[in-house]
């Protein structure tokens, strides 16, 4: 399937309501669906369907909308919860300057699951490749299952632990650096707006 | 300055049309039509409109008073948020994002101070022009910030959240990064729906409002929150630590610029690395260069946010970001002494 057809298909998935495009795509879309079903079926047989295959994302949204109240949730509870937060004074203690560090538990691996099905044993992937699924938990965000491919022998269980820690370590740090860079930029912009920053950047003179 | 940039716009637009890969003329390319520019080719007008709509959205995100709920879908995972925004008579911007699923976390913004509350962490504040949430911070800034990497193209319309909506695509200059589909409220310019799309057409993330109340007044809950004491602003722990070695990044997708560099230790593992952060105006990618043997384990992780480790002869490079795996691999391989 070519790139531009995929582009059109994603427009369809996204619900863009362009009749001509839709009609022109019906045939290709049916191809794609057939292909997708096939992929999914084989994934289920292999046992890795949970490892990140995207089911119909629109259906997931529709289901969530059906569940959620028509209006934004009554936010009096929200506010009281917020005020409870503010009344807790733990943060009034001197701020942890180590900051975001452990605090923003942005990415927390909550589960690791080895997917080693009989079929994999019968028909092993090259180089003893096995699929591990893990879930990450961004702060206030989505818990995201993904397929995690590493090259290792299925018997080296301790490696999974190391890789998981490594992955978590990098992912968490990445999120922290992103947040810190937002602060860095906001400060830089503020300094720029003030005209002459008190402390010029080293090397700019 | 402003006049120059406006005059330049048309030129830039034309240059970009020439630079767009063939696949972007997707509506006609399939039929092999090369000469006829039908109504479905990307026109200069579409780009002009796309830019105008993007900036309208930016204005709405900064100025509109609203009380909304929002769903975020990544893969099979679904998160739900309450999202409020307003601007007081004095011009202070107030924003609140509150997660409705799982641990109750709050992100509160008052102008350029954002406070984060989460049951598992000690609350803290940061200086930032946008919340660190599902909406990219670039959407809160003018189109000119992302112009070097993406063109905004006005597409068709549709109905989203029972409202007439305009579809605008943010199309990257190359196939090295994701594209974005935005549906904007025709009446207010508000962002109603956003999809992150991989080069192969897969939708990696969908964010959609499930309710929206626009109002003339700042939502009262935001006003009550206004001027509440907030946790202290944290200090950047890496601000004084400069990189230890001179590494050369021999390749990056066009438009990426370095926005941060330091030397620090990673949480959990304590691995020491020289660190570089690059931004294309919308998405960001982290590059870690480490000589710690533990960092040389080859791991690869593919999702909306992906990770790839490349082992060089006596150092390892790990790249993390919202970019296609092929791009991460190429970036990781392009670091040299």
- Written in H, E and C, the secondary structure of A34-96 is HHHHHHHHHHHHHCCCCCCCCCCHHHHHHHHHHHCCCCCCCCHHHHHHHHHHHHCCHHHCCCC
Q: Which residue has the tokens 């942890």?
A: A96
Residue A133, domain extent:
98-194
How are beta strands B299-302 and A144-150 bridged, if at all?
Answer: antiparallel
Task: With respect to residue B124, please indicate whether it lies within any of the assigned structural domains.
Answer: yes
What are B159's strand-pairing partners?
A: B164
pLDDT for A134 equals 36
pLDDT for A11 equals 43
Same domain? For B316 and B172 the reply is no
Same domain? For B67 and B104 the reply is yes
DSSP sequence for B139-186: GGS-GGGTTTTEEEEEEEEEEETTEEEEEEEEEESSTTS-EEEEEEET
pLDDT for B164 equals 97
Q: Which of B192, B225, B258 is the last residue of a domain?
A: B225
Contact A170 B76 (CB under 8 A): no
Same domain? For B157 and B95 the reply is yes
Same domain? For B272 and B196 the reply is no
Same domain? For A123 and A49 the reply is no
Task: With respect to residue B313, please indicate whether it lies within any of the assigned structural domains.
Answer: yes
Task: With respect to residue B136, please indicate whether it lies within any of the assigned structural domains.
Answer: yes
What's the angle, vertex CA A197, arms to CA A194 and CA A203, rounded to 5?
A: 140
Residue A165: C-alpha distances to residues A71, A150, A172, B82 (Å) = 41, 13, 10, 32
A203 versus B206: the higher-pLDDT residue is B206
pLDDT for A40 equals 37
- Residue B262 dihedral angles phi and psi, to the nearest 5°: -165, 180
Is the pLDDT assigned to residue A165 strictly greater than 60? yes
* Residue of B103, B286, B304, B316 to mutate when probing chain A, most A C-beta within 10 A: B286
CATH classification at residue B281: 3.30.200.100
DSSP sequence for B5-59: HHHHHHHHHHHHHHHS-GGGGHHHHTTT--S---TTSPPHHHHHHHHHHHHHHHH
Distance in Å, alpha carbon of B95 to nearest chain A alpha carbon: 13
Same domain? For B179 and B289 the reply is no
Alpha-carbon distance of A194 to A197, in angstroms, equals 7
Task: With respect to residue A39, please indicate whether it lies within any of the assigned structural domains.
Answer: yes
Residue of B nearest to A74 (CA): B82
Q: What is the dihedral of CA B140, B328, B276, B278, to 10 degrees?
A: -30
Alpha-carbon distance of B280 to A149, in angstroms, equals 27
Same domain? For B180 and B310 the reply is no
Task: With respect to residue A80, please indicate whether it lies within any of the assigned structural domains.
Answer: no
Task: With respect to residue A141, please indicate whether it lies within any of the assigned structural domains.
Answer: yes
Per-residue pLDDT of chain B (337 residues; tens, 9 = 90+): 444 444 343 333 333 433 333 333 333 222 322 233 334 578 999 999 999 999 999 999 999 999 999 999 988 778 899 999 999 999 999 999 988 887 777 889 999 999 888 776 677 888 999 998 899 999 999 999 999 999 999 999 999 999 999 999 999 999 999 999 999 999 999 999 999 999 999 999 999 999 999 999 999 888 888 878 888 888 888 878 899 999 999 999 999 999 999 999 998 789 999 999 999 999 999 999 999 999 998 888 888 999 999 999 999 999 999 999 999 999 999 999 8
Residue of A nearest to B182 (CA): A14
Interface pTM (ipTM) of the complex?
0.87
Same domain? For B146 and B75 the reply is yes
pLDDT for A63 equals 56
Task: With respect to residue B128, please indicate whether it lies within any of the assigned structural domains.
Answer: yes
Q: pLDDT band for A113, please (50, 70, 90 cuts).
A: very low
Task: With respect to residue A181, please indicate whether it lies within any of the assigned structural domains.
Answer: yes
Same domain? For A136 and A190 the reply is yes
The interface residues of chain B toward chain A in range 194-233, judged by CB-CB distance below 8 A, are 195, 197, 199-203, 206, 208, 210-211, 213, 219, 221, 224-225, 228-229, 231-233
Tokens at residue B161, please? Answer: 């959240």
Contacts of B108 in chain A (CB under 8 A): 82
Same domain? For A128 and A189 the reply is yes
> Whole-structure pTM over 0.80, yes or no?
no
Q: Which residue has the tokens 């079929």?
A: A119
Number of folded domains that form chain B:
2
pLDDT for B117 equals 81
Same domain? For B294 and B214 the reply is no
Same domain? For B198 and B264 the reply is no
- A127 DSSP 8-state letter: G
Same domain? For A63 and A102 the reply is no
Same domain? For A63 and A140 the reply is no
Same domain? For A55 and A132 the reply is no
Query: Which among B151, B199, B183, B16 has a CA at the least distance from the CA of A4?
Result: B199
A113 with A148: CB under 8 angstroms?
Answer: no
Contacts of A147 in chain B (CB under 8 A): 302
Alpha-carbon distance of A23 to A130, in angstroms, equals 41
Distance in Å, alpha carbon of B88 to nearest chain A alpha carbon: 18
Nearest by CB to B210, from A58, A68, A139: name it.
A68
Task: With respect to residue A87, please indicate whether it lies within any of the assigned structural domains.
Answer: no
Same domain? For A103 and A62 the reply is no
Same domain? For A62 and A109 the reply is no
Same domain? For B81 and B49 the reply is yes
Number of folded domains that form chain A:
2
Q: pLDDT band for A82, please (50, 70, 90 cuts).
A: low
Same domain? For B198 and B286 the reply is no
pLDDT for B283 equals 97
Task: With respect to residue B169, please indicate whether it lies within any of the assigned structural domains.
Answer: yes
Task: With respect to residue A201, please indicate whether it lies within any of the assigned structural domains.
Answer: no
Same domain? For A190 and A102 the reply is yes
Residue B55, domain extent:
2-225
Is the pLDDT assigned to residue A8 strictly greater than 90? no
Kind and range of the H or E run holding B111: none
Distance in Å, alpha carbon of A85 to nearest chain B alpha carbon: 8
Task: With respect to residue B232, please indicate whether it lies within any of the assigned structural domains.
Answer: no
B307 with B320: CB under 8 angstroms?
Answer: yes
Same domain? For A64 and A104 the reply is no
Same domain? For A63 and A104 the reply is no
Alpha-carbon distance of B236 to B70, in angstroms, equals 31
Top-ranked range on mean pLDDT: pick from A62-76, A127-141, B304-318: B304-318
Task: With respect to residue A108, please indicate whether it lies within any of the assigned structural domains.
Answer: yes
Alpha-carbon distance of A154 to B301, in angstroms, equals 18
Contacts of B213 in chain A (CB under 8 A): 71-72
pLDDT for B64 equals 97
Alpha-carbon distance of B93 to A184, in angstroms, equals 20
Same domain? For B305 and B159 the reply is no
Task: With respect to residue B35, please indicate whether it lies within any of the assigned structural domains.
Answer: yes
Task: With respect to residue A150, please indicate whether it lies within any of the assigned structural domains.
Answer: yes
Q: Which of B225, B258, B277 is the last residue of a domain?
A: B225
Contact B259 A185 (CB under 8 A): yes
Q: Which of A15, A49, A68 is the last residue of a domain?
A: A68
Task: With respect to residue B242, please indicate whether it lies within any of the assigned structural domains.
Answer: no
Q: Which residue has the tokens 């004491």?
A: B229
- A161 DSSP 8-state letter: H
């Amino acid at each position: 399937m070519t790139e531009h057809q995929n582009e059109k298909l994603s427009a369809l998935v996204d619900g863009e309501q362009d009749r001509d495009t839709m009609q022109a795509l019906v045939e290709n879309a049916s191809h794609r669906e057939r292909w997708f079903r096939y992929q999914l079926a084989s994934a289920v047989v292999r046992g890795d369907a949970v490892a990140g295959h995207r089911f119909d994302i629109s259906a997931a949204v529709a289901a969530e909308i059906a569940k959620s109240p028509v209006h934004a949730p009554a936010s009096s509870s929200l506010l009281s919860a917020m005020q409870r937060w503010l009344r807790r004074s733990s943060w009034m203690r001197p701020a942890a300057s180590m900051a975001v560090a452990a605090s923003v538990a942005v990415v927390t691996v909550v589960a690791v699951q080895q997917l080693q099905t009989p079929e994999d044993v019968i028909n092993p992937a090259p180089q003893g490749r096995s699929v591990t699924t893990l879930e990450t938990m961004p702060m206030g965000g989505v818990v995201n299952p993904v397929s995690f491919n590493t090259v290792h022998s299925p018997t080296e269980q301790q490696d999974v632990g190391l890789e998981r820690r490594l992955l978590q370590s990098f992912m968490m740090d990445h999120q922290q650096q992103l947040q810190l860079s937002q602060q860095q930029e906001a400060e830089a912009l503020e300094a720029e707006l003030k005209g002459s920053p008190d402390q010029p950047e080293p090397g700019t003179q | 300055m402003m006049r120059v940039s406006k005059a330049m716009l048309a030129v830039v637009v034309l240059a970009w049309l020439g630079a767009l890969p063939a696949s972007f003329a997707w509506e006609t390319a399939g039929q092999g039509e090369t000469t006829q520019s039908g109504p479905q080719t990307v026109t200069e007008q579409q780009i002009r409109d796309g830019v105008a709509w993007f900036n309208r959205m930016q204005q709405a995100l900064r100025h509109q008073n609203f009380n909304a709920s929002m769903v975020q879908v990544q893969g099979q995972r679904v998160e739900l948020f309450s999202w409020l925004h307003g601007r007081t008579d004095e011009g202070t911007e107030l924003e609140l994002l509150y997660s409705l699923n799982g641990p109750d976390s709050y992100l509160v913004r008052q102008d350029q101070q954002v406070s984060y509350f989460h049951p598992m962490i000690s609350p803290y504040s940061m200086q930032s022009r946008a919340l660190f949430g599902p909406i990219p911070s670039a959407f809160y800034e003018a189109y000119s910030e992302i112009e070097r990497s993406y063109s905004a193209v006005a597409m068709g319309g549709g109905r989203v959240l029972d409202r007439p909506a305009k579809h605008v695509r943010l199309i990257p200059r190359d196939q090295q990064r994701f594209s974005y589909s935005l549906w904007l409220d025709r009446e207010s310019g508000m962002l109603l729906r956003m999809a992150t799309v991989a080069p192969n057409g897969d939708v990696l993330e969908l964010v959609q409002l499930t309710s929206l109340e626009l109002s003339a007044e700042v939502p009262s809950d935001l006003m009550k929150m206004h001027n509440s004491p907030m946790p202290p602003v944290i200090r950047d722990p890496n601000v004084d630590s400069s990189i230890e070695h001179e590494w050369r990044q021999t390749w990056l997708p066009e438009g990426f610029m370095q926005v941060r560099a330091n030397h620090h230790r990673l949480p959990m593992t304590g691995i020491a690395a020289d660190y570089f952060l690059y931004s294309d105006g919308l998405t960001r990618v982290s590059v870690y260069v480490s000589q710690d043997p533990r960092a040389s384990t080859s791991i690869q992780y593919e999702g909306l946010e992906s990770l790839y480790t490349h082992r060089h002869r006596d150092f390892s490079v790990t790249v993390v970001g919202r970019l296609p795996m092929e791009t991460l691999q190429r970036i990781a391989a392009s670091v040299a002494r």
